[in-house]
Structure 1
Amino acid sequence: MGWKEWEKSKAGPGRRMGRLCGLLVVCAGLGAGCAGGPEPQARWMDGVTTAEVVQRLQVVVPASASDLRSAYRKGLQDDTLLLAFVLPTPDVEGFLARLDPQEPVKAGPKSFAGPEPVAPFAHVGLPEPDSVPGVRTGQVCAPCAEVDFMHAAVARVDEKSSRVYFEAAD
Protein backbone atom coordinates (compact mmCIF):
# COMPACT_ATOMS: atom_id res chain seq x y z
CA MET A 1 0.00 0.00 0.00
CA GLY A 2 1.41 3.40 -1.01
CA TRP A 3 1.20 6.71 0.80
CA LYS A 4 -1.91 7.87 -1.06
CA GLU A 5 -3.81 4.64 -0.42
CA TRP A 6 -2.87 4.66 3.26
CA GLU A 7 -3.92 8.32 3.57
CA LYS A 8 -7.31 7.55 2.00
CA SER A 9 -7.93 4.47 4.11
CA LYS A 10 -6.76 5.69 7.53
CA ALA A 11 -7.52 9.37 7.53
CA GLY A 12 -10.88 10.70 6.64
CA PRO A 13 -11.42 14.24 5.41
CA GLY A 14 -11.69 15.60 8.96
CA ARG A 15 -8.38 14.11 10.05
CA ARG A 16 -6.59 15.39 6.95
CA MET A 17 -8.06 18.86 7.60
CA GLY A 18 -6.88 18.71 11.20
CA ARG A 19 -3.34 17.84 10.11
CA LEU A 20 -3.41 20.65 7.58
CA CYS A 21 -4.58 23.13 10.21
CA GLY A 22 -1.89 21.91 12.61
CA LEU A 23 0.73 22.34 9.93
CA LEU A 24 -0.49 25.89 9.25
CA VAL A 25 -0.38 26.75 12.96
CA VAL A 26 3.20 25.45 13.23
CA CYS A 27 4.26 27.37 10.12
CA ALA A 28 2.59 30.54 11.35
CA GLY A 29 4.26 30.14 14.73
CA LEU A 30 7.66 29.72 13.13
CA GLY A 31 7.09 32.78 10.98
CA ALA A 32 6.05 34.83 13.97
CA GLY A 33 9.13 33.67 15.84
CA CYS A 34 11.39 34.85 13.04
CA ALA A 35 9.66 38.16 12.58
CA GLY A 36 8.57 38.64 16.17
CA GLY A 37 10.37 39.88 19.20
CA PRO A 38 11.22 43.42 20.11
CA GLU A 39 12.35 45.59 17.24
CA PRO A 40 15.66 47.36 17.73
CA GLN A 41 15.14 50.98 18.71
CA ALA A 42 17.23 54.10 18.66
CA ARG A 43 18.58 54.88 22.10
CA TRP A 44 20.57 57.52 23.91
CA MET A 45 24.03 56.24 24.77
CA ASP A 46 25.35 56.71 28.30
CA GLY A 47 28.98 57.47 28.93
CA VAL A 48 29.69 59.45 25.75
CA THR A 49 31.57 62.57 26.84
CA THR A 50 31.23 66.09 25.52
CA ALA A 51 34.87 65.89 24.41
CA GLU A 52 34.02 62.84 22.26
CA VAL A 53 31.06 64.62 20.65
CA VAL A 54 33.16 67.74 20.02
CA GLN A 55 35.88 65.63 18.43
CA ARG A 56 33.39 63.81 16.20
CA LEU A 57 31.77 67.08 15.10
CA GLN A 58 35.18 68.72 14.64
CA VAL A 59 33.94 71.90 16.27
CA VAL A 60 36.40 74.08 18.16
CA VAL A 61 34.51 75.20 21.24
CA PRO A 62 35.62 78.69 22.28
CA ALA A 63 37.27 79.10 25.67
CA SER A 64 34.52 81.58 26.56
CA ALA A 65 31.84 78.86 26.21
CA SER A 66 29.91 77.74 29.25
CA ASP A 67 27.10 75.31 30.05
CA LEU A 68 28.30 72.68 27.57
CA ARG A 69 25.79 69.89 26.95
CA SER A 70 26.01 66.99 24.57
CA ALA A 71 24.43 63.66 23.74
CA TYR A 72 24.80 60.77 21.35
CA ARG A 73 21.82 58.78 20.11
CA LYS A 74 22.48 55.44 18.43
CA GLY A 75 19.95 55.09 15.64
CA LEU A 76 18.81 52.26 13.43
CA GLN A 77 20.38 53.86 10.36
CA ASP A 78 21.79 57.22 11.39
CA ASP A 79 23.23 58.29 14.70
CA THR A 80 22.47 61.73 16.13
CA LEU A 81 25.04 63.93 17.84
CA LEU A 82 23.97 66.97 19.86
CA LEU A 83 26.11 69.76 21.21
CA ALA A 84 25.01 73.00 22.83
CA PHE A 85 26.81 75.70 24.76
CA VAL A 86 26.43 79.32 25.81
CA LEU A 87 28.66 82.08 24.45
CA PRO A 88 28.84 85.77 25.22
CA THR A 89 26.69 87.31 22.48
CA PRO A 90 29.57 89.44 21.09
CA ASP A 91 31.54 86.20 20.43
CA VAL A 92 28.79 84.47 18.42
CA GLU A 93 29.34 86.06 15.00
CA GLY A 94 33.09 85.42 15.02
CA PHE A 95 32.48 81.82 16.08
CA LEU A 96 29.94 81.28 13.28
CA ALA A 97 32.28 82.82 10.69
CA ARG A 98 35.05 80.37 11.68
CA LEU A 99 32.64 77.50 11.00
CA ASP A 100 32.43 78.66 7.38
CA PRO A 101 28.80 77.51 7.13
CA GLN A 102 27.42 76.13 3.89
CA GLU A 103 24.50 78.55 4.23
CA PRO A 104 24.20 81.65 6.39
CA VAL A 105 22.84 81.21 9.88
CA LYS A 106 19.78 83.41 9.53
CA ALA A 107 16.54 84.21 11.29
CA GLY A 108 13.82 81.64 11.25
CA PRO A 109 13.40 78.20 12.72
CA LYS A 110 14.39 75.10 10.84
CA SER A 111 13.00 71.88 12.18
CA PHE A 112 15.75 69.98 13.93
CA ALA A 113 13.46 66.98 14.32
CA GLY A 114 14.29 64.12 12.00
CA PRO A 115 11.90 61.60 10.53
CA GLU A 116 10.82 60.47 13.99
CA PRO A 117 8.76 62.80 16.17
CA VAL A 118 11.39 63.47 18.81
CA ALA A 119 12.62 66.41 20.82
CA PRO A 120 16.33 65.62 20.99
CA PHE A 121 17.50 68.65 22.96
CA ALA A 122 15.01 67.85 25.71
CA HIS A 123 17.32 64.91 26.45
CA VAL A 124 19.97 67.37 27.63
CA GLY A 125 17.45 69.60 29.42
CA LEU A 126 17.17 72.32 26.78
CA PRO A 127 14.28 73.75 24.80
CA GLU A 128 14.24 72.79 21.14
CA PRO A 129 15.83 75.52 19.00
CA ASP A 130 12.63 75.73 16.92
CA SER A 131 10.67 76.77 19.99
CA VAL A 132 12.92 79.69 20.97
CA PRO A 133 11.74 83.10 19.70
CA GLY A 134 14.24 84.83 17.42
CA VAL A 135 16.26 81.69 16.71
CA ARG A 136 18.66 81.75 13.76
CA THR A 137 19.46 78.52 11.93
CA GLY A 138 21.59 77.26 9.10
CA GLN A 139 23.27 74.23 7.67
CA VAL A 140 26.94 74.09 8.52
CA CYS A 141 27.82 71.30 6.11
CA ALA A 142 26.42 68.35 4.19
CA PRO A 143 28.32 66.19 3.81
CA CYS A 144 30.91 67.03 6.43
CA ALA A 145 34.27 65.44 7.13
CA GLU A 146 33.06 63.11 9.89
CA VAL A 147 29.24 63.34 9.73
CA ASP A 148 26.56 63.30 7.03
CA PHE A 149 25.23 66.77 7.88
CA MET A 150 25.35 69.34 10.64
CA HIS A 151 22.86 72.09 11.44
CA ALA A 152 23.50 75.02 13.74
CA ALA A 153 21.12 77.30 15.58
CA VAL A 154 21.69 80.35 17.74
CA ALA A 155 19.18 81.70 20.26
CA ARG A 156 19.48 84.49 22.82
CA VAL A 157 19.55 83.36 26.41
CA ASP A 158 19.57 86.88 27.88
CA GLU A 159 20.99 90.33 27.07
CA LYS A 160 24.59 89.14 27.40
CA SER A 161 24.62 85.56 26.15
CA SER A 162 23.39 83.26 23.40
CA ARG A 163 23.10 79.50 23.14
CA VAL A 164 24.63 77.73 20.15
CA TYR A 165 23.05 74.43 19.19
CA PHE A 166 24.44 71.77 16.86
CA GLU A 167 22.67 68.69 15.60
CA ALA A 168 24.44 66.27 13.30
CA ALA A 169 23.68 62.92 11.73
CA ASP A 170 26.25 60.25 11.14
Structure 2
Amino acid sequence: MTLSPRSMRRPVLLSMRRLAVLPVVAGLALSACSSSLPSRGNSEWEKGAGAPEAAAFIKLRIPAGATGVTGAVRNQPRERLYLLSFLTDEKAARSLVDDLRPDHPLRAVPAASSSLSGDGFRHLGLAPPQELDGVRTTSACPPCVGDSRRPGVQGIEVHVGQQMGGQIGGQDGGRVRVYLAAY
Protein backbone atom coordinates (compact mmCIF):
# COMPACT_ATOMS: atom_id res chain seq x y z
CA MET A 1 0.00 0.00 0.00
CA THR A 2 1.35 3.37 -0.96
CA LEU A 3 0.70 6.56 0.92
CA SER A 4 -0.54 9.54 -0.99
CA PRO A 5 0.70 13.03 -0.10
CA ARG A 6 -2.78 13.76 1.25
CA SER A 7 -2.83 10.77 3.63
CA MET A 8 0.66 11.65 4.85
CA ARG A 9 -0.53 15.14 5.88
CA ARG A 10 -3.32 13.84 8.12
CA PRO A 11 -1.03 12.49 10.91
CA VAL A 12 1.02 15.69 10.78
CA LEU A 13 -2.12 17.84 11.17
CA LEU A 14 -3.38 15.69 14.06
CA SER A 15 -0.07 15.95 15.89
CA MET A 16 0.03 19.73 15.33
CA ARG A 17 -3.46 20.03 16.86
CA ARG A 18 -2.34 17.99 19.85
CA LEU A 19 0.69 20.24 20.27
CA ALA A 20 -1.53 23.33 20.20
CA VAL A 21 -3.57 21.92 23.10
CA LEU A 22 -0.51 21.15 25.27
CA PRO A 23 0.12 24.74 26.49
CA VAL A 24 -3.52 25.06 27.53
CA VAL A 25 -3.48 21.75 29.42
CA ALA A 26 -0.13 22.54 31.01
CA GLY A 27 -1.36 25.97 32.10
CA LEU A 28 -4.46 24.49 33.70
CA ALA A 29 -2.42 21.83 35.50
CA LEU A 30 0.06 24.38 36.81
CA SER A 31 -2.63 26.76 38.00
CA ALA A 32 -4.35 23.95 39.88
CA CYS A 33 -1.13 23.12 41.75
CA SER A 34 0.25 26.60 42.23
CA SER A 35 0.39 28.24 45.62
CA SER A 36 -1.09 31.53 44.52
CA LEU A 37 -2.41 34.04 46.98
CA PRO A 38 -6.05 33.66 47.87
CA SER A 39 -8.42 35.79 45.87
CA ARG A 40 -9.94 38.75 47.68
CA GLY A 41 -12.83 39.26 45.26
CA ASN A 42 -16.30 38.95 46.79
CA SER A 43 -14.91 38.40 50.27
CA GLU A 44 -16.62 39.28 53.52
CA TRP A 45 -15.72 39.24 57.20
CA GLU A 46 -17.25 36.45 59.26
CA LYS A 47 -19.33 38.00 62.03
CA GLY A 48 -18.31 36.99 65.55
CA ALA A 49 -15.11 35.25 64.43
CA GLY A 50 -11.91 36.60 65.94
CA ALA A 51 -8.67 35.65 67.67
CA PRO A 52 -9.94 32.40 69.25
CA GLU A 53 -11.11 31.07 65.89
CA ALA A 54 -7.89 32.10 64.13
CA ALA A 55 -5.69 30.57 66.87
CA ALA A 56 -7.77 27.36 66.80
CA PHE A 57 -7.43 27.09 63.01
CA ILE A 58 -3.67 27.62 63.09
CA LYS A 59 -3.43 25.30 66.13
CA LEU A 60 -1.25 27.59 68.17
CA ARG A 61 -1.23 28.90 71.68
CA ILE A 62 -1.14 32.62 72.08
CA PRO A 63 1.89 33.24 74.36
CA ALA A 64 1.23 33.88 78.05
CA GLY A 65 1.40 37.60 78.73
CA ALA A 66 0.47 38.55 75.16
CA THR A 67 -1.54 41.74 74.91
CA GLY A 68 -3.44 43.49 72.14
CA VAL A 69 -4.73 40.12 70.90
CA THR A 70 -7.00 40.51 67.91
CA GLY A 71 -8.12 38.39 65.00
CA ALA A 72 -10.66 37.95 62.23
CA VAL A 73 -11.81 35.51 59.59
CA ARG A 74 -12.44 36.59 56.01
CA ASN A 75 -14.60 34.33 53.86
CA GLN A 76 -13.32 34.35 50.30
CA PRO A 77 -14.57 32.58 47.19
CA ARG A 78 -12.27 29.56 47.54
CA GLU A 79 -11.17 29.56 51.19
CA ARG A 80 -11.13 31.38 54.47
CA LEU A 81 -8.28 33.65 55.51
CA TYR A 82 -7.55 33.69 59.25
CA LEU A 83 -5.82 36.76 60.69
CA LEU A 84 -4.30 36.88 64.16
CA SER A 85 -2.10 39.51 65.82
CA PHE A 86 -0.77 40.20 69.30
CA LEU A 87 2.06 41.85 71.24
CA THR A 88 4.58 39.65 73.00
CA ASP A 89 8.28 39.57 73.84
CA GLU A 90 10.93 38.65 71.30
CA LYS A 91 11.70 35.27 72.89
CA ALA A 92 8.05 34.17 72.77
CA ALA A 93 7.73 35.37 69.17
CA ARG A 94 10.79 33.39 68.08
CA SER A 95 9.54 30.28 69.88
CA LEU A 96 6.16 30.58 68.16
CA VAL A 97 7.79 31.02 64.75
CA ASP A 98 10.04 27.99 65.31
CA ASP A 99 7.00 25.90 66.28
CA LEU A 100 5.37 26.72 62.93
CA ARG A 101 8.31 24.99 61.16
CA PRO A 102 8.93 27.89 58.74
CA ASP A 103 10.35 27.66 55.24
CA HIS A 104 13.22 29.96 56.24
CA PRO A 105 14.29 32.00 59.31
CA LEU A 106 12.73 35.38 59.95
CA ARG A 107 14.33 37.95 57.67
CA ALA A 108 13.92 41.65 57.07
CA VAL A 109 11.81 42.65 54.11
CA PRO A 110 11.39 46.05 52.50
CA ALA A 111 8.25 48.00 53.26
CA ALA A 112 5.54 47.60 50.61
CA SER A 113 6.36 43.94 49.95
CA SER A 114 3.35 41.83 49.08
CA SER A 115 1.39 40.06 51.78
CA LEU A 116 -1.14 37.27 51.91
CA SER A 117 -3.29 39.39 54.22
CA GLY A 118 -3.33 42.39 51.89
CA ASP A 119 -4.87 45.17 53.92
CA GLY A 120 -6.86 42.77 56.11
CA PHE A 121 -5.13 43.90 59.29
CA ARG A 122 -6.70 47.35 58.78
CA HIS A 123 -9.99 45.63 59.59
CA LEU A 124 -8.45 44.92 63.01
CA GLY A 125 -7.36 48.53 63.48
CA LEU A 126 -3.70 47.75 62.74
CA ALA A 127 -1.35 49.05 60.10
CA PRO A 128 -0.70 46.22 57.62
CA PRO A 129 2.70 44.61 58.25
CA GLN A 130 3.81 45.22 54.66
CA GLU A 131 3.60 48.97 55.30
CA LEU A 132 5.97 48.92 58.30
CA ASP A 133 9.71 49.46 58.06
CA GLY A 134 12.00 46.80 59.52
CA VAL A 135 9.43 44.01 59.65
CA ARG A 136 10.83 40.49 59.58
CA THR A 137 8.88 37.79 57.81
CA THR A 138 8.74 34.10 57.04
CA SER A 139 6.18 31.59 55.87
CA ALA A 140 5.23 28.03 56.69
CA CYS A 141 3.65 25.31 54.60
CA PRO A 142 2.39 22.62 56.99
CA PRO A 143 1.56 20.08 54.24
CA CYS A 144 5.01 20.60 52.66
CA VAL A 145 6.84 19.61 55.84
CA GLY A 146 4.36 16.96 57.00
CA ASP A 147 3.16 18.98 60.01
CA SER A 148 0.28 16.72 61.05
CA ARG A 149 -0.60 19.12 63.89
CA ARG A 150 -2.10 21.52 61.35
CA PRO A 151 -4.07 19.29 58.95
CA GLY A 152 -6.38 21.94 57.47
CA VAL A 153 -3.78 24.69 57.10
CA GLN A 154 -2.30 25.16 53.62
CA GLY A 155 -0.05 28.11 54.36
CA ILE A 156 0.89 30.57 57.09
CA GLU A 157 2.52 33.95 56.62
CA VAL A 158 4.27 35.46 59.65
CA HIS A 159 5.38 39.05 60.15
CA VAL A 160 7.14 40.28 63.28
CA GLY A 161 7.52 44.01 63.82
CA GLN A 162 9.07 45.91 66.71
CA GLN A 163 6.63 47.83 68.88
CA MET A 164 7.33 51.32 70.25
CA GLY A 165 10.11 51.41 72.82
CA GLY A 166 12.41 48.92 71.16
CA GLN A 167 14.79 48.52 68.28
CA ILE A 168 13.93 46.45 65.25
CA GLY A 169 14.66 42.82 65.95
CA GLY A 170 14.08 43.08 69.68
CA GLN A 171 17.74 43.49 70.67
CA ASP A 172 16.78 45.50 73.73
CA GLY A 173 14.03 43.12 74.87
CA GLY A 174 11.17 45.33 73.61
CA ARG A 175 7.77 43.96 72.72
CA VAL A 176 7.08 42.85 69.18
CA ARG A 177 3.83 42.67 67.26
CA VAL A 178 3.24 39.29 65.64
CA TYR A 179 1.00 39.17 62.57
CA LEU A 180 -0.22 35.79 61.32
CA ALA A 181 -2.26 35.13 58.18
CA ALA A 182 -3.28 31.56 57.38
CA TYR A 183 -5.48 29.75 54.94
TM-score by length of 2: 0.63
Q: 1:162 pairs with 176, 180, 183, which one? A: 176
Alpha-carbon distance in structure 2 between the residues aligned to 1:100 and 1:142: 8
Aligned residue number for residue 136 of structure 1 = 136
* Aligned residue type for 1:168: A
Alpha-carbon distance in structure 2 between the residues aligned to 1:113 and 1:146: 17
Contact 2:137 2:157 in 1 (8 A): yes
Aligned residue number for residue 35 of structure 1 = none
Aligned residue number for residue 14 of structure 1 = none
Alpha-carbon distance in structure 1 between the residues aligned to 2:151 and 2:42: 27
Q: 2:156 pairs with 150, 159, 162, which one? A: 150
Q: Deviations over 1:11-41 (max 9, x none)?
A: xxxxxxxxxxxxxxxxxxxxxxxxxxxxx92
C-alpha displacement of 1:45: 0.8
Aligned residue number for residue 90 of structure 2 = 89
Alignment of 1:14-163 (within 5 A): 41-109=42-110, 110-113=113-116, 118-143=118-143, 145-158=151-164, 159=166, 160-163=174-177
C-alpha displacement of 1:96: 2.1
C-alpha displacement of 1:78: 2.0
Q: Alignment partner of 1:80: what SS?
A: strand
Alpha-carbon distance in structure 2 between the residues aligned to 1:93 and 1:53: 19
Q: Alignment partner of 1:163: what SS?
A: strand
Alpha-carbon distance in structure 1 between the residues aligned to 2:96 and 2:156: 15
**Judging changes above 3 Å, is the alpha-carbon distance between structure 1 residues 148 and 99 closer, same or farther for their aligned structure 2 residues?**
closer
Q: Deviations over 1:122-154 (max 9, x none)?
A: 000111111111000111225352222111010
Alpha-carbon distance in structure 2 between the residues aligned to 1:120 and 1:49: 13
**Judging changes above 3 Å, is the alpha-carbon distance between structure 1 residues 113 and 51 closer, same or farther for their aligned structure 2 residues?**
closer
Structure 1: 5+ residue runs without aligned partners?
Answer: 1-39
Q: Alignment partner of 1:134: what SS?
A: coil
Compare 87-96 and 64-73 and name the one that shifted more: 87-96
Contact 2:116 2:181 in 1 (8 A): no
* Aligned residue type for 1:138: T
* Aligned residue type for 1:63: A
Alpha-carbon distance in structure 2 between the residues aligned to 1:74 and 1:131: 23
TM-score by length of 1: 0.68
CA RMSD, Structure 1 to Structure 2 (Å): 1.9
Q: Alignment partner of 2:99: what SS?
A: helix
Q: Deviations over 1:80-139 (max 9, x none)?
A: 11000101234322332233212222111542146xxx5111000111111111000111
Aligned residue number for residue 22 of structure 1 = none
